[in-house]
């Protein structure tokens, strides 16, 4: 606990970046005598650095760029590998774990140690990793790096500790899973094929043990060669040379036949009795043409051949369509008896896997589902029903259904908002799903004790907005809103938005939500704002449209007193578009006399529309084209339900709208906000007419957007995603930035508009890209009837403060350091049936700073954070109490004042990847962690801090990463996460019966240890592979390895280890004794040799 006392009367504080034309920040020398005398401020700060720690919590969404798939049929958990080296492990809802390989190498293949609580991953850097899944946060136990050969395929037989590894050279190596050391037993490619064969068979593409005999290993080579290798005899039983490349092989459970898929779109069925030619060759999608030849088909990349007790076998494969069917979507084909079902997919198939009732490959498989991993989706098909419906996916795999362009995170929502959003969103859910339970049901998860209502909002490129329930580290979609429904559909090849954004005219730039009043605002890329109110009833509504002309001439000379050349004022009360706006010229007809002017980018529906329950649009605000120039995108927004006002700004200026009376109150350029107090004394505008300013992260605002984004492309454009070449200089980095000053943040609140104000009143705080802070007091009628009839008066006060860099965030504290919430209107359903006993009136809730006047007299504290600096001012004197330079070499991307540990702090995320926490009001550094190097624009525009010690960002285009920055949540993280492994008894193998055993149908078992162990096979070459111990430790590996045999096996392992250590100790003792004896012998010989020599003979 630390006290901060600062006597402001007569105290001068040095501060960088004082204002021009006003007293320097922190100096009381220039304070007007009319202002109240500042008194001693006494704030007890409770936050210390030990309260903070940064760590990842959970990751939601679909794994980006998936590459591999695996399923544990006993534990019923699913693993998905990705190109960036990530592994997602999924079980029942709530069981969702993300692991990351440190190398970042792509995951080629995944293999579960079935019912052992472990997973083997093979990566593109030719390294094998063993993960321990018996802990809530899986860790690598062992790694094995191949130095001379590239890994192409892996196979781990059920209940075996020996992993077969095929390589690009055609060799097959064997790895002991427990020790993760190579066996000396190797199947060399030149031994596997006949000596007379002149060509290399190619990489190993398949390995599997025969269901009939575990001592027989089937090796498939890419060229079309298949070899069954007798592991005991160390020779080939048979060799098949087929003239088409092999992609996959699948056994019949009896081990007498197997099926191959080939590059020409064919399936071949082979019988072990006669391997000279295939028993059957089929082209499932290849029709016979008129000339008698087969259609050429695409490769069948994978086939699975599964038997069923109750019906004919299933043959399931991906690919194989004929080449001439252009535009056909990727398909999964299910052949069941004579019936062929082709399932078309929305995205290319990465991998699929058939889920079966038994883990034993020598039993009837009885498949019940197919997991299909697509490039951008995960679906599971129900095989038990003839129409093959899909299961409803319980995971939030559709976060990226349309690319995410912005996020918002609310961790302290009213408890009733989640149920009501869910009830309305549930009415629009899709139907036709399988009635059976989701088959991936492994793991265990319980609702933790640290739960409270949390909502995540995502805005998307197609104009949709999704509300997600994010409570208790889960994510479930509650409600989806389509903002494009407000507008008319643009005609093909036309549309007034064509020049502004060709791809996504409705893309969401930022959102503003008041959970208490349930008012919701969306800012779109076409310079439009839509205001929504929430209702539980459907309604017929006429959408009101306001058009605002917020554009400054870029060439005329402007001084603060010249307003005639500045067309930035709109007439208050300009309502829906005038008739002459309804039919604009097409974008292509750009003649000097026919240039676009006074038209919006999009056309709002001008008819009465039926709107369902939920969020219903009430007002649309659009910026207009001016003299052929499209409007600048909106860079800042704030809405206050108690005031009934909405403010927004862009590169040209600021507008304030009364959304209750549907009028524009203020529409003014940034320069005119200053009056005569412009700190830069600018007289000219930049001569550049084009609206393409420097791209990159140099103009990021408090919301997650850039102030001057690339106007010609959507937020999902790759070119803007990677534009980080420009370095940040001072707060004024170019002529264009000097003269064009964007409004970067806005905040309504109860404050003091002028230094001599005695009582607080409604104010609008304005922050600009040049680090200037302006204060605009407002006069709002209090009475309900007067508020709906009398106009609100808004007038800049001329109060100016300066900071380094663009202003990002405002917040207000009382003089005891507590956060002051903004006033709001209590939600009321405007479409509800009227009650004569309870007239429908606005109910307002205010949190006035004067409520804590006992602590310090009049006034409150204002926290201002910019890209470089944070300052705390005392109002109304506007004296600077504290200042902290956050960064000199980088700049802040996101800043939020958050409630944490029953106190408040300032949270900052910088472009250099640092996450920082500063105490309030003293701005004392509490945490500075180099966490996340900024790699693209996506992270910058989606990073969001919220209360309760949490934050989020988009870690990839399809995944939301949540993090915590409090020590308490890091400590409690284990109990909040789900358990991946649950103790389950391995199902027993079926009794195959006397007759099958008598006629040779029984499965032969053999001891792999006798063949592959060091005693029989020797040691592998040290240069072939390097063993790397993992972070999980040997103890965890032993726990994972002993899952099948239980406690007895673990005790035996411990005993063996003890005996091994005693044996090693005995060996070392014997070695030392031998060494001592040798030394004694040599010393004696030397003594005898030198005994009779004189001193001069040496």
3-state secondary structure 325-349: CCCCCCEEEEEECCEEEEEECCCCE
For the whole model, what pTM was predicted?
Answer: 0.81
Q: Which of 112-126, 165-179, 598-612, 725-739 has the lowest mean pLDDT?
A: 725-739
Higher pLDDT pick, 145 / 937:
145
- Taking the C-alpha atoms of residue 19 and residue 771, their distance in angstroms, rounded to an integer, is 10
User: Helix count (H) and strand count (E) of the chain?
Assistant: 15, 64
Measure the CA–CA gap between 362 and 1004, rounded to whole angstroms: 11
Q: What is the edge-to-edge ordering of all strands in the sheet holding 77-82?
A: 66-72, 77-82, 86-90, 96-100
Structure token pair of residue 351: 């991998």
In eight-state DSSP terms, residue 1019 is B
Range of weakest confidence among 31-35, 197-201, 389-393, 676-680: 31-35
Per DSSP, the three-state class of 930 is strand
| pLDDT score for 177 | 93
pLDDT at 29: 30
Residue 127: φ, ψ to 5°: -125, 135
Q: What is the DSSP track for 1071-1092?
A: HHHHHHHHHHHHHHHHHHHHTT
Cβ neighbours of residue 110 under 8 Å, at least 6 residues apart? Answer: 68, 69, 70, 79, 80, 81, 87, 119, 120, 121, 122
pLDDT, position 116: 94
CA atoms of 80 and 373, how far apart (whole Å): 8
995 has pLDDT over 60:
no
The pairs formed by 587-594 with CB atoms below 8 angstroms and a separation of 24 or more are: 587/494, 587/495, 587/496, 587/498, 587/499, 590/628
Quick check: 927 and 54 in contact, CB under 8 A? yes
What is the DSSP secondary structure assignment for residue 252, as one 8-state letter?
-
Cα of 817 vs its chain's centroid, Å: 34
E strand map for 212-330: 216-221, 225-230, 235-241, 246-251, 257-262, 267-271, 280-282, 300-306, 314-319
Determine the average pLDDT of the residues in 422-451. Answer: 85
Share of the chain above pLDDT 70, in %: 77
On average, the pLDDT of the chain sits at: 81
- Stretch 324-346: mean pLDDT: 88
User: Is the predicted pLDDT of residue 536 greater than 90, yes or no?
Assistant: yes
| pLDDT-wise least confident of 8-22, 45-59, 270-284, 516-530 | 8-22
Between the CA atoms of 606, 611, 614 and 620, what dihedral angle is there, to the nearest 10 degrees? 0
Q: Does 1091 have pLDDT greater than 70?
A: no
Q: Looking at the chain, how many residues does it have?
A: 1098
Instruction: Report in angstroms the alpha-carbon separations of 80 from 87, 331, 332, 377.
Output: 6, 20, 19, 12
Q: Taking 80 as the threshold, does the pLDDT of residue 1054 lie above it?
A: no
CA distance 508 to 498: 17
pLDDT beyond 70 at 992: no
3-state SS of 699-755 is: CECCCCCECCCCCCCCCCCHHHHCCCCCCCCCCCCCHHHHHCCCEEEEEEEEECCCC
- Across 133-203, where does the E strand assignment appear? 139-146, 151-155, 162-167, 172-176, 181-187
List pLDDT tens digits, range 552-571: 654 433 333 333 333 333 33
Buried b (16+ CB within 10 A) or exposed e, 866-875: bbbbbbbbbb
Exposure string for 1023-1035, b = 16+ CB within 10 A, e = fewer: eebeeeebebeee
Q: How many other β-carbons are positioned within 10 Å of the β-carbon of residue 969?
A: 19
How far apart (Å, rounded) are the C-alpha atoms in residues 1032 and 1026? 18
- Name the pLDDT band for 153 (thresholds 50, 70, 90): very high
What are the E-state strand segments in 168-234? 172-176, 181-187, 204-209, 216-221, 225-230
Show the CA angle centred on residue 600, arms to residues 596 and 603, nearest 5°. 120
Q: Distance (Å, rounded) from C-alpha 405 to C-alpha 462?
A: 10
Quick: pLDDT tens for 40-95: 577 889 999 999 999 999 999 999 999 999 999 999 999 999 999 999 999 998 89
Please enumerate in sequence order all residues whose Cβ is within 8 A of that of 1055, keeping only pairs 6 or more positions apart, or say none. none
For 569-602, give one letter per residue: b (16+ CB within 10 A) or e.
Answer: bbeeebeebeeeeeebeebeeeeeeeebebbbbb
What values do phi and psi take at 789, rounded to 5?
A: -115, -45
Q: Give the span between the Cα atoms of 165 and 162, in whole angstroms.
A: 10
Closest listed residue to residue 119, CA positions, set 95, 97, 94: 97
Residue pair 167/209 in contact by the 8 Å Cβ criterion? no
Q: Which of 26-30, 90-94, 323-327 has the highest average model confidence (pLDDT)?
A: 90-94
Measured over the CA atoms of residue 674, residue 675, residue 678 and residue 684, the dihedral's sign is positive
Q: Which residues pair with 521 in a beta bridge?
A: 512, 531
Burial-class residue 427 by CB neighbours within 10 Å (0-12, 13-18, 19+). Answer: exposed
For residues 106 and 87, give the distance between their C-alpha atoms in angstroms, rounded to a whole number. 10
Report the interhelical angle of 1033-1041 vs 1046-1090 (nearest 10°). 130
Whether the predicted pLDDT of 1097 surpasses 60 = no
Show the tokens assigned to 658.
């009364």
Contact 175, 128 (CB under 8 A): yes
Distance spanning both ends of the chain, measured CA to CA: 78
Burial class of 781 by CB neighbour count within 10 A (0 to 12, 13 to 18, 19+): middle
In this structure, are strands 614-623 and 544-548 parallel, antiparallel, or unpaired? parallel
- Integer Cα distance of 639 and 648 in angstroms: 9
């Amino acid at each position: 606990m630390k006290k901060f006392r600062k006597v402001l009367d007569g105290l001068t504080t040095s501060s960088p970046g004082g204002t021009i034309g006003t007293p320097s920040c922190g100096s009381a020398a220039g304070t007007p005598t009319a202002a109240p005398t500042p008194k001693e401020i006494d704030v007890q700060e409770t936050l210390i650095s030990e309260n903070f720690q940064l760590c990842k919590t959970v990751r939601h969404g679909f794994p980006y760029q998936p590459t591999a798939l695996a399923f544990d049929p006993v534990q019923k958990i699913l693993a998905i590998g990705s190109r960036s080296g990530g592994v997602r492990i999924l079980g029942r809802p709530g069981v969702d774990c993300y692991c990351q390989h440190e190398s970042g190498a792509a995951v080629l293949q995944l293999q579960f140690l079935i019912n052992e609580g472990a997973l083997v991953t093979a990566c593109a850097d030719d390294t094998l990793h063993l993960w321990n899944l018996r802990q809530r946060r899986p860790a690598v136990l062992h790694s094995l790096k191949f130095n001379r050969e590239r890994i192409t395929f892996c196979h781990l037989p059920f209940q075996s500790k020996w992993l077969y590894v095929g390589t690009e050279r055609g060799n097959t190596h064997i790895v002991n899973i427990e020790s993760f050391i190579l066996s000396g037993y190797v199947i060399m490619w030149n031994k596997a094929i006949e000596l007379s064969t002149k060509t290399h068979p190619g990489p190993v593409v398949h390995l599997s043990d025969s269901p009939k005999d575990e001592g027989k290993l089937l090796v498939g080579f890419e060229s079309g060669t298949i070899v069954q290798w007798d592991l005991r005899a160390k020779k080939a039983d048979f060799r098949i040379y087929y003239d088409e490349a092999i992609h996959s092989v699948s056994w019949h459970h009896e081990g007498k036949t197997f099926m191959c898929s080939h590059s020409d779109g064919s399936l071949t069925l082979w019988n072990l009795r006669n391997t000279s030619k295939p028993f059957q060759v089929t082209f499932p999608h290849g029709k016979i043409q008129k000339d008698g030849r087969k259609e050429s088909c695409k490769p069948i990349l994978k086939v699975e051949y599964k038997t069923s007790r109750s019906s004919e076998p299933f043959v399931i494969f991906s690919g194989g369509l004929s080449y001439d069917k252009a535009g056909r979507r990727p398909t999964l084909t299910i052949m069941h008896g004579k019936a062929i079902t082709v399932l078309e997919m929305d995205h290319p198939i990465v991998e699929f896997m058939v889920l079966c009732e038994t883990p034993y490959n020598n039993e009837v498989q009885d498949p019940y589902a197919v997991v299909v991993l697509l490039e951008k989706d995960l679906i599971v098909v129900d095989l038990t029903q003839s129409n093959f419906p899909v299961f409803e996916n319980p995971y939030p795999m559709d976060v990226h259904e349309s690319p995410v362009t912005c996020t918002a995170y609310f961790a302290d929502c009213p408890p009733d908002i989640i149920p009501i959003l869910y009830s309305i969103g549930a009415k629009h859910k899709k139907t036709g799903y399988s009635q059976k339970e989701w088959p991936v049901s492994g793991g265990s998860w319980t609702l933790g004790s640290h739960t409270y209502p949390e909502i995540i909002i995502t805005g998307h490129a197609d104009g949709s907005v999704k509300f997600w329930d994010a409570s208790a580290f889960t994510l479930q979609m509650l409600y989806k809103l389509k903002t494009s429904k407000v507008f008319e559909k643009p005609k093909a090849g036309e549309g007034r938005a064509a020049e502004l954004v060709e791809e996504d005219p409705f893309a969401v730039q930022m959102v503003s939500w008041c959970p208490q009043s349930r008012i919701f605002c969306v800012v779109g890329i076409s310079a439009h704002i839509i205001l929504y109110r929430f209702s539980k009833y459907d309604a017929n509504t006429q959408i009101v449209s306001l058009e605002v002309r917020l554009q400054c001439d870029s060439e005329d000379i402007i001084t603060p007193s010249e307003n005639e050349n500045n067309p930035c004022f709109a007439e208050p009360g300009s309502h829906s578009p005038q008739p002459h706006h309804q039919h604009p010229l097409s974008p292509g007809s750009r003649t000097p006399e026919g240039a676009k002017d006074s038209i919006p980018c999009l056309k709002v529906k001008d008819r009465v529309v039926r709107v369902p329950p939920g969020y219903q649009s009430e007002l649309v605000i659009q910026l207009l084209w001016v003299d052929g120039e499209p409007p600048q995108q909106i860079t800042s927004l704030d809405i206050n339900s108690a005031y009934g006002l909405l403010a927004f700004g862009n590169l040209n200026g600021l507008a304030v709208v009364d959304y209750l009376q549907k009028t524009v109150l203020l529409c003014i350029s940034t320069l005119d906000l200053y009056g005569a107090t412009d700190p830069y004394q600018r007289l000219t505008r930049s001569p550049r007419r084009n609206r393409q300013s420097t791209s990159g992260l140099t103009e990021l605002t408090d919301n997650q957007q850039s102030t001057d984004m690339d106007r010609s492309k959507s937020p999902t454009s790759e070119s803007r995603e990677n534009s980080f070449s420009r370095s940040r200089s001072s707060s004024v980095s170019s002529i264009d930035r000097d003269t064009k000053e964007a409004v970067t943040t806005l905040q309504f609140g109860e404050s003091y508009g002028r230094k001599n104000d005695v009582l607080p009143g409604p104010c609008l705080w304005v922050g600009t890209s040049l680090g200037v802070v302006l204060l605009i007091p407002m006069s709002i009628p209090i009475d309900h009837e007067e508020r709906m009839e009398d106009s609100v008066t808004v007038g800049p006060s001329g109060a100016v403060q300066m900071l380094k860099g663009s202003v990002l965030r405002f917040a207000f504290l009382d003089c005891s350091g507590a956060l002051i919430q903004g006033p709001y209107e209590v939600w009321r359903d405007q479409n509800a049936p009227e009650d004569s006993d309870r007239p429908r009136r606005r109910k307002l809730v205010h949190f006035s700073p004067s409520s804590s006047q006992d602590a310090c007299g009049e006034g409150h504290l204002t926290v201002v954070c910019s890209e470089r600096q944070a300052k705390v001012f005392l109002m109304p004197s506007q004296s600077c109490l504290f200042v902290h330079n956050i960064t000199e070499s980088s700049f802040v991307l996101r800043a939020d004042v958050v409630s944490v540990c029953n106190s408040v702090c300032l949270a900052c995320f910088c472009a250099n990847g640092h996450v920082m926490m500063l105490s309030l009001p003293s701005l004392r550094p509490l945490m500075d962690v180099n966490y996340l190097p900024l790699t693209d624009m996506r992270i910058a525009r989606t990073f969001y801090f919220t209360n309760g010690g949490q934050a989020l960002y988009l870690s990839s285009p399809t995944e939301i990463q949540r993090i915590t920055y409090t020590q308490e949540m890091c400590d409690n993280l284990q109990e909040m996460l789900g358990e991946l492994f649950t103790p389950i008894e391995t199902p027993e193998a079926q009794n195959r019966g006397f007759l099958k055993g008598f006629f040779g149908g029984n499965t032969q078992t053999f001891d792999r240890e006798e063949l592959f162990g060091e005693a029989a096979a020797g040691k592998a070459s040290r240069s072939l592979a390097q063993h790397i111990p993992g972070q999980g430790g040997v103890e965890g590996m032993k726990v994972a390895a002993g899952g099948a045999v239980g406690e007895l096996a673990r005790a035996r392992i411990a005993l063996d280890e003890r005996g091994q250590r005693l044996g090693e100790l005995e060996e070392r003792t014997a070695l030392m004794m031998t060494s001592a004896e040798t030394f004694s012998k040599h010393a004696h010989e030397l003594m005898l040799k030198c005994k009779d020599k004189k001193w001069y003979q040496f």
